[in-house]
Amino acid sequence: MTTNNSEPGPVIPSMISIVDYGMGNLRSVEKALEKLGCATQFVTTPEAIDAADSVILPGVGAFGDAMAELRRHGLVEPLCRYATGGKPMLGICLGMQVFFESSDEAPGVAGLGVMPGTVRRMTPHEGLKIPHMGWSGLSVKPGSRLLESVEDGTHVYFVHSYHVCPSDENVIAADCQHGCRVVAAVERGALWGTQFHPEKSQAAGLAILGNFARAAGAVSTLTFP
């Protein structure tokens, strides 16, 4: 009788897929993940999304343009499938907004509809400019996996004129104030989103991306930040 005493092989980290549909700061997101030691790839096809271990949907620009590009690339149905399939997915800024059903920015244009609610234009207040551009402190809800170890008052970087209004308060992971309440992060199961840009939010943003990377199996431990 022989016994196999060989040690198990090393665990190979999974790869994070960043959706390239012409509407995001792909390089900034890629570089931030590289600092965390994550392997990444850009994906452009339905097949690549279906096969992904985890997905980040970035976004900069207008809601209607984003949905038009996703439709043009045939990515709407694959992203909807992915968002409801239990694998880790993160939407950033406009990438989070398109999770919702509609937006004031593009009347009549349907979003992905994987989170309940809509996107509204921010109301100007005296002394506060729209777009909301700069650093704001977070009010973090208890139990968020995405914002684990992020303290109340942590400042992160925003650039936006529209904000999400979920019809289910339970998906809100954090908010902030800019003349009105701004939903800063959402979370439902493995589907996460940030209105702010973690890739531009220095150490706090890297910690948040690190939480996503750990959930995605892309890293086990972090050496930075």
Q: Quick check: is 199 catalytic? A: yes
Q: Quick check: is 93 catalytic? A: yes
| Residue among 73, 163, 178, 197 flagged as catalytic | 197
| Residue among 30, 105, 187, 199 flagged as catalytic | 199
DSSP 72-123: HTT-HHHHHHHHTTTS-EEEETHHHHTTSSEETTSTT-----SSSEEEEEPP
Nearest to 225 by CA among 132, 210, 186: 210
Nearest to 82 by CA among 191, 203, 210, 222: 191
With tokens 């985890």, the residue in question is 54
Q: What is the CA radius of gyration of the chain?
A: 18
Phi and psi, residue 57, nearest 5°: -110, 100
| Residue among 30, 73, 93, 105 flagged as catalytic | 93
Residues with catalytic function: 93, 197, 199
